[in-house]
Structure 1
C-alpha cells in the first residue's frame, strides 16, 4: 500500500481563479484517495516552502527554551491556546478494542485557535513565533476552503456544503486549530511501550500535516498492519477525520495513525518536528451522514461538532 499523491495546481493558492471543472477534477481525485486510504499527499498547493521553514525555526526556538519559560505560556483551559507539556495529552487512551495504552508519549506542542492580536503567544520569549503562525495559518485557511469545495463536488454535493459549515475557522465558535509539535531528541534507552504519539484518529473534518525529514509517522492499513507515511518534501499530507467519516457515512474512513520512534540510533538523537492544521466545522454544526446510503453504525446517526471534540478532549487531556 502506498499513499497516493494528488497535484492540486489547478486549485492551489497560485491559481487566481479556479474554474468549476478544476474543483470537480480535484474533488474526484480526493474522493478516490480518501475512500481507499483516508490519506493523500497534496503537491503544487502554492504555499512557499520558506514560510513553512520559518514556522519550524520559530517553533524550535520556543521548544528549546527552559521548561519554566515554556510553562509561562501554558495552554489556557478555556481558549485552549498555548503550550502543552509532555505527557499532558495521551492519545493512546483512545485505543480501540480496550488495548492497554502506551507507557508514555514523548512530545510537546503549541496550540493556536486564534490569530487575533490579543491571542496568547510567547511574544516576550520568541517574538517571531506569532508572525510565523499568522503567515502560514492565513494561507492554510485559504487553501482549506478550496479543498473543502473540491471535496463537496467529489461527493456530488452543493460545492459550498462544507465551506458553509466551516466559516468560523480560527475564530470564535469553531474548534479548528494550528498546532506546532516538537518531539525532543531521545538520548537514553527507551522503555517498551514508549511512542512519540499514540495511535489515534483525528477528531475533525480533515487535517493538514507538514513533516520534517525524520519520519516516523505510520498509518493503519485495512488489514491492521502499519504503513509508513514518509516525509514528502514540499507536500502537505492530508487525512480524513472522525467528523468527515460521519458526514460521508463511513465512505471516507478516519484512518488511525501514530508516530513511532525510529530504530536507527542516529535518528533517536535528533528532535523531530511537525506542523498540523486541524480543520473542524463550526461548533454549532450537527454532523450527520449526508450521503444516501443507510447509516452503517449507530455512531453515524449524528453529533454536535463541539460535543464530539469535548468528548475526545475529556479522554485525552490531563
Structure 2
C-alpha cells in the first residue's frame, strides 16, 4: 500500500466540473493519509520550466552544502523560537521533541517535555523566505561563494512553489465546502519558508541503536508542506489504518514533477482537527531496511512550508466546531503557534503572551 500519485493539471486547465472533481479527490486523500502526491502541478506549457527549476535547485543545493563549514556557519540560523533563517548544522534540530503519542496512540503536538531528550536527527539545512521580510531577514551566502544561488532560490523557485501551494489550498477549500479564500486570504504577506536539506551518509548500524534517525516522527507547522525528494528514498508517513504503528514508505517514482503535499499544524487548528497533520519520518530506504551492514547514501530534499500571515488568527473555523466536535485548539496567531513549535526544536519555547511573542507579532 502507498499513496497514489494524482495528476493535478486539471485544476488549472480543466473545466469547472473537472476542477471540482479533482479538488474532492485531493481532499479525500488528505482526509485518509494527511498527505497526497501530485504531478503536473504547473501551468500548461510550463512543465519544462518546472523541471528546469527543480533540477537547478538540486544542483545549487549540492554546491551549498559543499561550501566550507566556516562559510555556512557565518550565516547560521539562530537557535531560538523565531522563524528559522540561514544554515542549521547536522543535529541542530530535534524533531522528536515536537510530536508525541497520546493515551490513545495518536500523534499530537507535544505540550510538555515528556519525550525522549536524547534522540538525534542527522541532517543539515538552509532556510529562507522572500527578500524584504522586515522582521526575520535571511542571511545569504555571498555571490562570490555561490554565484546565482540567491537569485534563483528566492527570485525563481520560491514564487513557483508558493503558487503551487496556494492552488492546493484552494482545492482543499473547494473539497471542504468552505468559501474560496478561507485559507489563501490569510497568506497575503507571503511569509512562506523554503528549505533545502541534505542528509549525509549514515550507517545502518547507527540507525539500529534507536537513538538516531535521519529525521524522527513529527508534523510540520504551517498550512501545508510541499516536499520534493531525490531518488534515495527513506521517507515514510504514518499508516493510519494500521493498528500496530506501521509506516508507509513514500518511494520515489522518478516522475520529474512529483511533489508530496503534507497537511500541517496550522490547517489542523483551522479545521479543528477535521484534517489531521501528516506524521512523517526519514529512515532507511526500503532496499536497506533489513541490512545488518550498509551505508545509507546521502539524500537531498526541497521543502516549501506554506505559512499563514503572522498576525492571522488560526483558531478553529465556526463550521468545524459542533456539539459532537467541541473546540480543540486556542485562538493563537500563526506566529504564536510557530514560536511555540520552533522553540520546542531548540528548547527555547516562549510563553504565549510574553513580551517576546507580542513584540514579534
Number of residue pairs the alignment of both structures matches: 309
* Contact 1:4/1:39, CA 8 A, preserved across alignment: no
Matched, 1:44 2:40: yes
Measure, in 1, the Cα distance between the counterparts of 2:294 and 2:196. 20
Aligned to 1:164: 185
* Contact 1:102/1:195, CA 8 A, preserved across alignment: no
* Contact 1:210/1:237, CA 8 A, preserved across alignment: yes
Runs of 4+ in 1 over 6 A off after TM superposition: 264-267
TM-score normalised according to structure 1 size: 0.88
Of the structure 1 ranges 194-203 and 71-80, higher mean CA displacement relative to structure 2 is found in 71-80
* Contact 2:273/2:328, CA 8 A, preserved across alignment: no
Matched, 1:302 2:331: yes
* C-alpha spacing 1:217/1:168, structure 2 compared with 1 (3 Å): same
Q: Which structure 2 segments of 5+ residues have no match?
A: 102-113, 348-361
Match runs of 1:81-230 below 5 Å: 81-97=85-101, 98-101=114-117, 103-116=119-132, 119-122=138-141, 123-133=143-153, 134-169=155-190, 174=191, 176-186=192-202, 189-190=205-206, 192=209, 193-222=211-240, 223=242, 224-230=245-251
Measure, in 2, the Cα distance between the counterparts of 1:305 and 1:270. 36
Deviation of 1:31 (Å): 1.4
Which one has a bigger Cα radius of gyration?
A: 2
Matched, 1:246 2:269: yes
Aligned to 2:353: none
Q: CA RMSD for the aligned pairs?
A: 2.5
Aligned to 2:351: none
Deviation of 1:189 (Å): 4.7
Match runs of 1:46-65 below 5 Å: 46=42, 47=47, 48-65=50-67
TM-score normalised according to structure 2 size: 0.78
Aligned to 1:317: 346
